[in-house]
Amino acid sequence: ETGVTQTPRHLVMGMTNKKSLKCEQHLGHNAMYWYKQSAKKPLELMFVYNFKEQTENNSVPSRFSPECPNSSHLFLHLHTLQPEDSALYLCASSHPTGTSGRTSYNEQFFGPGTRLTVL
């Protein structure tokens, strides 16, 4: 258990469906991240949120829409996805800078991921 939970763990959806992935962290972190891991490819960063503000969008298509209502929750809203969007979607969190302790040094805590299949 890393303190980062993701739901659902598995999701199958059609190309016309709308669904959302949820991430919650119980670590008091203020930075949260979405990553995508396609089969046999490295993890790719999608979005970064710092204190609820999006600070990075890594050229992600608009069919992926993130939302960060507070520092503990992060959502990824999905609509009109394509089969090639099938992947493991991972959420992570980290401390902001300026805090004390080793965990300020870019140590990211990852959730277990959501395995998404788009039919």
Residue 100 binds to another protein (criterion: CB under 8 A):
no
Identify the residue among 87, 92, 116, 118 touching another protein (CB under 8 A). Answer: 92
Residue 52 binds to another protein (criterion: CB under 8 A):
no
Residue 57 binds to another protein (criterion: CB under 8 A):
no
Q: Can you say how many angstroms the Cα of residue 9 is from the centroid of all Cα atoms in its chain?
A: 13
CA–CA distances in Å: residue 83 to residues 43, 56, 80: 18, 25, 10
- Structure token digits, residue 16: 């016309």
Between CA 5 and CA 25 the distance in angstroms is 6
Between CA 100 and CA 83 the distance in angstroms is 43
Residue 66 binds to another protein (criterion: CB under 8 A):
no
Binding residues for another protein, rule: CB under 8 A, are: 2, 4, 30-31, 33, 42-43, 45, 48-50, 55-56, 58, 88, 90, 92, 94, 96-98, 105-113, 115
